[in-house]
Amino acid sequence: MAVQKIIRYPDPILKSRSEPVRAMDERIARVIKNLLDTLAASPGVAIAAPQIGAADRIIVCDVSRKVKEKHHGRMILLNPLIRRREGTKIFREGCLSVPDYTGNVSRAETVWVEGLDPEGRPVSLVAEGFEALALQHEIDHLDGVLFLDRIASLSTDIFRRKTY
């Protein structure tokens, strides 16, 4: 397993809907390990399988190195779905696959997420604040949606990143 090259926009895989994980096998275990390794070596807090070239519905999220607020720690979610959203807030968002820009995006402040862990057990959680943002961002990746697609005005709400 190894750190993978992060796929950058406009690669077509980033605009494609990912396939559900049907069973845990060696290939899926490899994708998960590669996601973990790649996230650990990056400045990001979350990553989705399409960002390393795998069209599987898998995300890894760990906001602990960026925020001290309540969070769930490192999560590996297969086939995650947002079941409910509450509140809205404008967040400044960035993406490992669009490293040169950030943008203002309207997201839910709280989300209820369901999925499976790597052992196939159901996971159900409520995330708030920055963690909710990260989960929404990564689940969007699984549907071929980038934060750029959610920016209301490309003339006023997108910004060139000074540093990563």
Residue 151 β-bridge partners: 105
CB 66 within 8 A of CB 134: no
Please tell me the predicted confidence (pLDDT) of residue 32. Answer: 98
Q: Which residues pair with 39 in a beta bridge?
A: none
Q: What is the pLDDT of residue 128?
A: 96
Q: Where do we find the tokens 């203002």? A: 104
User: Which residue is it, tokens 């820009």?
Assistant: 101
Per residue in 66-77, pLDDT (tens digit) is 988 889 999 999
The domains of the chain are located at 12-160
**pLDDT value for 164:** 61
3-state SS, one letter per residue, for the chain: CCCCCCCCCCCHHHHCCCECCCCCCHHHHHHHHHHHHHHHCCCCCEEEHHHHCCCECEEEECHHHCCCCCCCCCEEEEEEEEEEEECCEEEEEEECCEEEEEEEEEECCEEEEEEECCCCCEEEEEEEHHHHHHHHHHHHHHCCCCHHHHECCCCCCEEECCCC
Told to judge if 114 belongs to the known catalytic residues of this protein, a careful annotator would answer no
Q: Which residues pair with 90 in a beta bridge?
A: 106
CATH class, range 12-160:
alpha beta
Given this model, what pLDDT does residue 147 score? Answer: 98
Peptide bond into 10 cis (omega under 30): yes
pLDDT for residue 33 = 98
Tell me the longest C-alpha to C-alpha distance in the chain.
45
- Given the residues 26, 93, 128, 138, select the one marked as catalytic: 138
pLDDT (tens, 9 = 90+) of the chain, 164 residues, equals 699 999 999 999 999 999 999 999 999 999 999 999 999 999 999 999 999 999 999 999 999 989 888 899 999 999 999 999 999 999 999 999 999 999 999 999 999 999 999 999 999 999 999 999 999 999 999 999 999 999 989 889 999 998 76
